[in-house]
Structure 1
Amino acid sequence: MTTADGSPVEVYRLLPPAGEAEIVHAAIPAGAAVLDLGCGTGRIAHALMALGHPVTAVDDSPAMLARVRAAKVCSRIEDLQLDRRFAAVLLASHLVNAPDSAPVLAAVARHLAPGGRAIVEWHPPEWFDTVDDGGGRLGEVEIRLSGISREADLLRATVRYAARGAVWARHFTARRLDQPRLEALLAGAGLRFGRFLSTDHTWFSAVSGL
Structure 2
Amino acid sequence: MGTIRRAGHRGTGPGTITPDGCAVELYTRLPAGTEPDVVAAAVPAGAHLLELGCGAGRVTHPLLERGFTVTAVDESREMLDRVRGARTVHSPIEDLDLGTTFDVVMLASFLVHASDAAVRRALLRTCVRHLAATGCVLIQREGEAWHTHVPRERVDPAGFTVRIVSAEPAGDGVNSVTAAYEFPDATWTQTFLSRPLTREQFEGALAEVGLKVDAYLTADRTWVRASLAVQGASVKSPL
TM-score after normalising by structure 1: 0.94
Deviations 1:71-121 (A, max 9, x none): 100000000010210000111111111113111111011011111010010
* Separation in structure 1 between the aligned mates of residue 163 and residue 196 of structure 2, nearest angstrom: 20
> Is residue 104–residue 138 contact of structure 2 (8 Å, CA) maintained in 1?
yes
Q: Which segment is superposed worse, 83-92 or 139-148?
A: 139-148
Q: CA deviation at 1:164?
A: 4.7
* Aligned residues with identical type, % of pairs: 38
Which residue is 2:153 aligned to? 135
Aligned partner (choices 167, 173, 176) of residue 187 of structure 2: 167
Q: CA deviation at 1:179?
A: 2.0
- Is the alpha carbon distance of 1:7 and 1:206 closer, same or farther for their aligned partners in structure 2, counting shifts above 3 Å? same
- Within a 5 Å distance, the mapping from 1:64-103 to structure 2 comes to 64-69=79-84, 70-100=86-116, 101-103=120-122
Give secondary structure in 1 for the equivalent of 2:181: strand
**Is residue 2:203 matched to residue 1:207?**
no
**Is residue 2:122 matched to residue 1:122?**
no
* Separation in structure 1 between the aligned mates of residue 108 and residue 216 of structure 2, nearest angstrom: 14
Which residue is 1:44 aligned to? 59
Aligned partner (choices 36, 52, 55) of residue 21 of structure 1: 36
- Give the gaps of 5 or more residues in structure 2: 1-15, 231-239
Q: Name the structure with the higher strand share.
A: 1
* Separation in structure 2 between the aligned mates of residue 177 and residue 148 of structure 1, nearest angstrom: 14
* Separation in structure 2 between the aligned mates of residue 10 and residue 164 of structure 1, nearest angstrom: 14
Which residue is 1:191 aligned to? 211
Give secondary structure in 1 for the equivalent of 2:146: helix
Aligned length: 209
* Separation in structure 1 between the aligned mates of residue 50 and residue 172 of structure 2, nearest angstrom: 33
* Separation in structure 2 between the aligned mates of residue 19 and residue 125 of structure 1, nearest angstrom: 19
Q: CA deviation at 1:173?
A: 1.6
Letter matched to residue 156 of structure 1: S
* Separation in structure 2 between the aligned mates of residue 83 and residue 65 of structure 1, nearest angstrom: 21
> Is residue 14–residue 140 contact of structure 1 (8 Å, CA) maintained in 2?
no
TM-score after normalising by structure 2: 0.83
Q: CA deviation at 1:131?
A: 1.9
- Give the gaps of 5 or more residues in structure 1: none
Q: Which segment is superposed worse, 158-167 or 38-47?
A: 158-167
